[in-house]
Each structure stands twice: as C-alpha cells, then as structure tokens.
Amino acid sequence: MTESSASRVGLAAALAATFFFGVNTIAAKLAADAGAPGAFVVLCRTFALFVLLALVLPVLRWSVAIAPPSRPAMAAMMATSAGMGICYMSSVTYIPVTVAAVIFYTYPALIVLGGPLVTGRPLERRELVVSFVAFAGIVLVVGPTFGSLDPRGLAFALSASAFTAAQFFAAGRIAHESVVAKLFWVQVGVLPVAAIVAYASLDLSPATVLAAAPGAMTMTIGCYVAGSIGMLIALSRLRPAAAALVFCLEPVISAAASAAWLGERMTAVQYAGGALVIAAVAATALAPLRQPKFA
C-alpha cells in the first residue's frame, strides 16, 4: 500500500470510527435512561467484543501474538485504555457531562504539544492552531456551564484526557502490529477494570438491566465494536495528532444525532461550533497524515 493510499484508508477509518462513537453516545444515553449505569454499559460492550474475538479468531486462524519489542507499548495501550475509561466514567459522577466532555477533548492539544517529545517530530504551528480551533468549536457545540465544580471530577476528566493522549502515542509505536491483535489485548486490559467499576455501581441484577434496554444495549455494543475497529485502523495509518483532530468530530456528531433522533434542538452557536470543528478536520485532511517513524 502506498503512503497516500494508506493515509486515505486511515482518514476514512477515523471518520467512520468518529461516526460510530458519536452515535454510540446517544445509544449509551438511552441505555442510561432505562437504568443501565455507564460502567455496566462499558462492561457489556467490552465483554461482547472480547467474546466475539474469542469465537472468530480460531475459525479464521488469526493470531493475537505481539512481537516482543512491541509488548511494552501494547501493555501501555492496555493500561491507558483502561485508565481513560475509568477516569471518564468517574468524572461524570462529580461534574456535568458537558464540562467533562470539554475537558476531555483537550487531548488533541496534548498530543500536538507532546508530539515532539514522543515522536521526535518538530512541533508544527499549523497543527497547534488547528487543534485549538477544533477545541473552541467543541466548547461551542457542547456549551458547558461552569459553576461550582467538584475538583475530583476535574481531576478525573483531566486524567482521562492525558490517558487518551498516551493511548494514541502507544498505538503509534505499534502501528505495524495486527489490528485484530491490538483489539483483542485492549479488551483484555479494559475488561477487569470495567468489571470492578460496574460491580461497585450496579444496584440491580445484570439480567434486569439488560431486559430494560435491549435495543439501546445492542446498539451501543455494535457501535463500540465498529468504532474500535475503525480507530485502531486509523491509528495504524495516521499520525497521532492528525487522528486526534479527526476525532474532534465526535461531539459534533453526537449533537447532530441528538437533534435528529431525540428531538433536541441545536442553537446557532452550536452550528457555528460544528462548522469550526469541520473546518479544522478539513484542514487536517488536506495536510500530510502518514504515521511517522518513532525515534
């Protein structure tokens, strides 16, 4: 595969993953409204993907082996994926979801700023400007209300952002490894953490919760599977900074899906914010996107 075609595949995968993750937010909200805690939703979708892989891998004879030199980065990706999930889930316990989302989406800027230290690639002013334009657009789309905020929630949201930035860098270091293998081991890392948090937060029996929202749970599982596959394909072919900027579209898609599906109205300010994010993503798509060789 040529460099340009690999970049196009990576961009398409990132856009697809962003769509599925954005729609997944709505499915998770519907499940939560039916009584399914966020941690339980994460546990179900992680377990479903793990079981699916466990059934498919032997049939298709796909290997989940990771080369010894790549194992430290794979372990880092497992740990950061679990850390991101638990911190983001914990943040919304203490602060509004909109505030948590805005803090969480500082991770593209962290990736751009941290890129020179991790990849050895010089800091590009264009990427820095684009990342802050995208962040400004997200603030307008999500529209948080900052009042008296619990510092625990702020700490969890900032930690989730940092874990996500580290996850992207770890994925970049093992871009050459099989997407299926990375997908499998990430679930192995997330599953025990999700199980512990879900057990602590679940008041009803799992069967009761699943019966209350079968459609929403099925949809969130499907979106998670599709989004996870797309994300790992994208991170195998795009620079971390470029991939992160494309993923800034996720809250815009969530807002649009809420308007279309749940009847929530978008304001002119939200439309303006969405336009800023789309412009930032378009600027990213027109720039060189290829995954660099790490120092």
Q: Which residue has the tokens 């194992």?
A: 71
Task: Encode pLDDT of 141-154 as tens digits.
Answer: 777 666 667 888 88
Please provide the size of the chain in residues: 295
Tokens of 82: 């679990």
| DSSP symbol at 148 | S
- Report how far residue 15's alpha carbon sits from residue 247's, in angstroms, rounded to the nearest whole number: 7
Residue 128: predicted pLDDT: 78
User: Where does 9-91 show beta strands of DSSP type E?
Assistant: none
Q: Which residues pair with 238 in a beta bridge?
A: 290
Residue 185: predicted pLDDT: 93
Residue 110: predicted pLDDT: 84
| DSSP symbol at 175 | T
C-alpha distances (whole Å) from 257 to each of 12, 24, 144, 154 are: 20, 10, 18, 27
Residue 255: predicted pLDDT: 79
- Report how far residue 278's alpha carbon sits from residue 270's, in angstroms, rounded to the nearest whole number: 12
2-10: Cβ within 8 A, 24+ apart: 3/290, 6/237, 6/290, 6/291, 7/237, 7/238, 7/288, 7/289, 7/290, 9/233, 9/237, 10/233, 10/234, 10/236, 10/237, 10/238, 10/243, 10/289, 10/291
**Residue 90, CA atoms < 13 Å, CB-side half-sphere:** 22
C-alpha distances (whole Å) from 152 to each of 92, 158, 214 are: 10, 10, 33
Task: Encode pLDDT of 121-175 as tens digits.
Answer: 776 777 778 888 888 888 887 776 666 678 888 888 889 889 999 998 998 888 8
**What element of type H or E holds 250?**
helix 250-261
- Report how far residue 220's alpha carbon sits from residue 36's, in angstroms, rounded to the nearest whole number: 12
Q: Which residue has the tokens 């999700």?
A: 194
The low-confidence residues of the chain, meaning pLDDT below 50, are: 294-295
Residue 267: predicted pLDDT: 78
With vertex at residue 74, the alpha carbon angle to CA 103 and CA 40, rounded to the nearest 5 degrees, is: 55
Structural domain boundaries in the chain: 3-127+147-239
- Contact between 107 and 123 under an 8 Å Cβ cutoff? The reply is no
Residue 186: predicted pLDDT: 92
Q: Among 196, 289, 283, 214, which Cα is nearest to 4's?
A: 289
Radius of gyration of the chain (CA): 18
Residue 285: predicted pLDDT: 66
